[in-house]
Amino acid sequence: MNTPPKLPTSLYIHIPFCATKCYYCAFNTYSFHKEQAKAYLDALSTEMQIYSPQTSPLKTIFIGGGTPSILSANSLDRLFTDLYSKFQICKDIEITVECNPGTVDAEKLGIMKEAGVNRLSFGLQAMQDEVLRQLGRIHSVEEFHHSYRLARESGFQNINTDLIFALPEQTMEMWQYTLTKTISLQPEHISAYNLVMEESTPFYERWKNGQFNLPSEDTEADMFQYTIDTLTAHGYKHYEICNYAKPNREVKHNIVYWNNQAYIGLGVGACGYVDSVRYTNIRGIPHYNKSLRELKKPIADTEVLTGKAEKAETLMLSLRKREGICTEDYTLRFGESIDVEFGDIIQKWKDLGVLEQTATHLRLTDRGLFIANEVFLELM
């Protein structure tokens, strides 16, 4: 963790459209309509214009969603033209685009490659068609393979796949199958999330009504441990609670989040963190568009993060990384040792074998990974 630069060098752009909504997902997304997407890109362009003077040359861009790859080839082209005309871009920038299998073709991939996109993230989730159907995904396993192959043929050498475990009725064997099949493709990066039951989703309703069972906590813990052991054995470094990378393939953009450093967030419902202020944009597209037609920042909420709140957030986010928090960097950033604010809490979790001090870092122990949320709750 280094001292944050004065102006942000990282940019998140939210594309809030999906073909249909997956049953487990609570992200801010809407059905895709061509005309609405056009109006949204107009608004986004204005927002870029407003924020560009507040950035240094960009080192990372993450275009997420939603499903950015659902945009037409023309719209993608326009998005990148806007980006390059409004921001200064570092030569060695990392640009990630989230893609949903079945929504990319050679033309779109060509446009992304031409525009300097050098990292793709595919939402795969599972390697069984019946599981994908149960999740409300729009694609089959075969469609994933097709999109993945096309991406490789288009020259993408840094690909992530998102997976989810602890799914309804999922057995250990089903998860092992998904993981093994994914590893056989050798993506450079794998994100493996445990399912979070979000209250606003159809999944939550069905679960509450007893329509399916979730794996027990013990099975979920076994799946997590299996994931760590298997991916590590196959040359992936476990560098964040849910993230695994081949050497030097850690995602630079998210490391900015985990170091609690500044970034600009653009788009409907997006969050940003600038000058110690965490802001959240308006969630609805019509209001977001209107605000930008009036040349106003479309911010719905702000929270000033200074003093203890900033220290706690920095500690909590950094502990997500397997290396933990560099205690010297913390002292440089806040002008005091980490023990001044958190000495008692840290000691308690050290005594319980959940936190440990290395030569340079304070980190979660292997056992601590499984109850990280309890530590985070106490810091909040």
Ligand X SMILES: C[S@@+](CC[C@H](N)C(=O)[O-])C[C@H]1O[C@@H](n2cnc3c(N)ncnc32)[C@H](O)[C@@H]1O
Using CB under 6 A, list all residues that contact ligand X. 24-25, 27, 64-67, 98, 100, 123, 125, 162, 164, 193, 195-196, 198
Compute φ and ψ for 90, nearest 5 degrees. -70, 150
- CB contact set of 132 (below 8 Å; sequence gap of 6+): 125, 126, 139, 140, 141
By Cβ distance, which residue is nearest to ligand X? 123
Classify residue 197 by burial, with Cβ atoms within 10 Å: 0-12, 13-18, 19+. middle
Instruction: Return the one option of ligand SF4, ligand X, none that residue 162 interacts with (CB less than 5 to 8 A, by type).
Output: ligand X
Among the residue ranges 14-22, 37-45, 172-180, 218-226, the one whose residues contact ligand SF4 (CB under 6 A): 14-22
Residue 357 to residues 338, 360, 364, Cα–Cα distance (Å):
12, 7, 9
Judged by CB under 6 A, does residue 259 bind ligand SF4? no
Within the chain, how many helices (H) and strands (E) appear? 14, 17
**Which residue's CB is nearer to ligand SF4, number 17 or number 156?**
17
Phi/psi class of residue 9: alpha, beta or left (left: φ > 0; alpha: ψ in -120 to 50)? alpha
Judged by CB under 6 A, does residue 368 bind ligand SF4? no
Judged by CB under 6 A, does residue 101 bind ligand SF4? no
Single residue of 7, 27, 150, 276 touching ligand SF4 by CB under 6 A? 27
**Which residue's CB is nearer to ligand SF4, number 7 or number 41?**
41
- CB contact set of 182 (below 8 Å; sequence gap of 6+): 124, 127, 161, 163, 190
Query: Contact 342/314 with Cβ under 8 angstroms?
Result: no
Q: How far is the CB of 126 from ligand X (least distance, A)?
A: 10
Judged by CB under 6 A, does residue 67 bind ligand SF4? yes
Single residue of 1, 13, 18, 282 touching ligand SF4 by CB under 6 A? 18
Q: How far is the CB of 106 from ligand SF4 (least distance, A)?
A: 21
- Find the angle CA(88)-CA(94)-CA(100) to the nearest 5 degrees: 115
Helix ranges (H only) for 192-302 are 202-208, 217-233, 252-258, 285-293
Map residue 130 onto helix, strand or coil: helix
Among the residue ranges 59-67, 179-187, 249-257, 343-351, the one whose residues contact ligand SF4 (CB under 6 A): 59-67
Instruction: Return the one option of ligand X, ligand SF4, none that residue 21 interacts with (CB less than 5 to 8 A, by type).
Output: ligand SF4
**Which residue's CB is nearer to ligand X, number 31 or number 85?**
31
Judged by CB under 6 A, does residue 29 bind ligand SF4? yes
Judged by CB under 6 A, does residue 269 bind ligand SF4? no
**Which residue's CB is nearer to ligand SF4, number 26 or number 39?**
26
Strands 58-65 and 89-99 turn out to be parallel
Judged by CB under 6 A, does residue 55 bind ligand SF4? no
Q: Dig out the tokens for 12 from the structure.
A: 């998140």
Q: Dig out the tokens for 378 from the structure.
A: 């106490």
Residues in contact with ligand SF4, counted by CB under 6 A, come to a total of 11
Instruction: Return the one option of ligand SF4, ligand X, none that residue 196 interacts with (CB less than 5 to 8 A, by type).
Output: ligand X
Cα 6 vs. chain centroid, distance in angstroms? Answer: 24
State the residues that interact with ligand SF4 by CB under 6 A: 18, 21-22, 25, 27, 29, 65-67, 100, 123
